[in-house]
Amino acid sequence: MFGTGDPFEYLECRKCGSMQQLSPPLLELSAYYPNEYYAYVTLNYSSAFRKFLKSIRWLLYRLVDIKPFWPLWGDWIKRGNVQLNDKIADIGCGNGQLLYEMYASGFPNLIGVDPFIENSQRINSSLLLLMNSF
């Protein structure tokens, strides 16, 4: 992702398409997360009006499936047949921005875990971010 050029082996689940790194470098991960890594930047909150627009975009995406309405994360949500009230966990969530965007679109059950966030925090009743050293 950041151009280190290091090779990694992955295993893909034939049933769901999820991927898992086979031998992660558990001892020294900081070399793979530079200062610009998204866990180190501030979460970008949306105004009430923008959250309203994002929830409308999500509804239009689910109803008409026209590319301009697609949120960046829409493809894998649709492929996994994820429903609005499903519980979603993002392991390695960085600062939680992806989960926040999902919350702003109406998803109520979100949790993120990342070893590089400064501290655990409840963003709102729908979104919890946890610092974890794995």
Asked if residue 16 belongs to a domain, the reply is: no
Asked if residue 113 belongs to a domain, the reply is: yes
Asked if residue 109 belongs to a domain, the reply is: yes
- How high is the pLDDT of residue 130? 93
What percentage of the chain's residues is helix, strand, coil (to nearest 5)?
Answer: 30, 20, 50
Tell me the residue range of the domain where 106 lies. 45-134
Q: How many domains does the chain have?
A: 1
Asked if residue 35 belongs to a domain, the reply is: no
Asked if residue 13 belongs to a domain, the reply is: no
- How high is the pLDDT of residue 116? 79
Say which residues have a Cβ less than 8 Å from residue 118's Cβ, sequence separation at least 6.
131
Asked if residue 8 belongs to a domain, the reply is: no
Q: What is the pTM of this model?
A: 0.74
- How high is the pLDDT of residue 16? 81
* Distance separating alpha carbons of residues 94 and 117, to the nearest angstrom: 7
Asked if residue 114 belongs to a domain, the reply is: yes
Q: Which residues pair with 131 in a beta bridge?
A: 114
Tens digit of each residue's pLDDT, the chain (134 residues): 566 788 888 898 888 878 888 887 766 777 777 777 777 788 899 999 999 998 888 888 878 867 776 787 777 787 788 888 999 999 889 899 999 999 998 999 999 998 878 889 999 999 999 987 65
- How high is the pLDDT of residue 17? 77
